[in-house]
Chains A and B, each alone.
Chain A
Amino acid sequence: MLEARGLTKYYGSVLAVQSIDFSLEPGQVLGYLGPNGSGKSTTVKMLIGLLEPSSGQVLFHGKNIQSDLVAYRKHLGYVPEEANLYPYLTGYEYLELVGTLRGMPQQRMKAKIDSFLELFSLFPHRHVALSSYSKGMRQRILLISALMDNPDVLILDEPLSGLDVTSALIFKNLIQSLSAKGKTIFYCSHVLEVVEKVCSRLLILRKGQVIASGTTEEVRQRIGQTSLENIFLYLVEDRDVAQIANDIVDVVVSP
């Protein structure tokens, strides 16, 4: 079980997130939503142990992850928001690097890499440098690197970024299958339609604070809106989006 208790982070005197609480059981998928700058990435970095909270803690099976980060990360798969990869490595070499760093046995690692590359349609490009991969291909490499060691916890930060329609569809089904297999999934995204489809629970963030949480149905009933898009707009957006769009058009057509 992955648990956040009173997670708070200050950058100097600037508050990034405040008192984030949630617990995530195996098989659950938590959708983590919020506008830009709301503190999503900060939370993700604390959850994977790249950033230490100013106060509060992240617990995995009841134990503070900071007490043994290496052991915790053995159970962790992570897809970062941006596909920052070493461009001169080939796709295969990058996965080999990650697998070796994770301490996977060579034979198992190679078999897994080959299978994943085949399934993600990257096998023909496995010996091509990552610099010439498209954004979607790089994203698939990141997904493989997160999944290759059979992690118990998956932290996904905008995992669909750049994926084509087929890959995105496969991925949505993959999330559901992984959760059915008992994986704990923390899913951070802007794509509300996907979050609505794959997440069993929601947590909406605004200016570093949780403003709504619960199952999708609970949140829907509480806010009194039918779609997640409307819920999101109701909670986080002060401005009238239709009016903003009209104003933009006015500027576009103005002489």
Chain B
Amino acid sequence: MDHQSVALGCLRGGHTIMWIYEKRLQYPIRIKNTDPHLAQLIMAQYGGPDGEIGASMRYLSQRYAMPYPELRAILTDVGTEELAHMEMVCTIVHQLTRNLTQEQIRSGGFSTYFINHTTGNFPCDANGMPFSAATLQVTGDPITDVHEDLAAEQKARTTYDNILRMTDDPDVLDAIRFLRAREVVHYQRFGEGLRIITDSLDDRNFYAFNPAFDTSVMKQTGAQQQQRTVPAQRQAVQKTAPAQQQAVQQSPLVTARTGKCTVEEATGIQGSFCGIPKNK
């Protein structure tokens, strides 16, 4: 996946392209040994409750009610990366079930999977339970959703930990360790996102209402109301954010590599990207 193009919808070959496929894995996988039982266990991270399909659908679905620009970007980019992880998990499963012997098909618990799916990749958990959207949630509440996302990353990390306990195959361990490390990075980014949300709220009461929906409640919180009122200038900044981010990257201030640069410095437009819910 070309994540940069995905995230920015950037121009390529004269067309605006969204979600393009790149013909390579995010991290190389080449598994030499066949191990159908291990494949069945690793299937958990394809279509299981804490697997990569669920992760991707969760984040990409949560974006629409998310008012914070940083969180919209994180959900888009992590949700996109999870699609690349889904392909990695499928590749592991596929390579572990190549060149099966009759003995391997019938033993090791793989036969119950084989009977319906042969060596196709069906999105299910380690028990063969089909993937279900019931394993994820989209509440339309930024704080609730981000807590769900943080939990999801840790649940996936735990599952990868358990997969690491199941095998000594270095080819499998290498790929699973990469995927596990990404869960930790995603947790870090969602953690920063949660802080961006709470920084924009009244610190006496973060968790009592939905910052994306209960606007009347937000207005009654007093002291911080001024901070949350988005001036026309700021709204303008938010509407043109992607273009400005490109401007920031192309700015001489960026290539100078010294000190901090702000959007204001780079573009001459006053405003902030930090934690202001849209239309409040």
Are chains A and B native binding partners rather than an unrelated pairing?
no
Write the residues of chain A forming the contact surface with B, with a CB cutoff of 8 angstroms: none
Write the residues of chain B forming the contact surface with A, with a CB cutoff of 8 angstroms: none
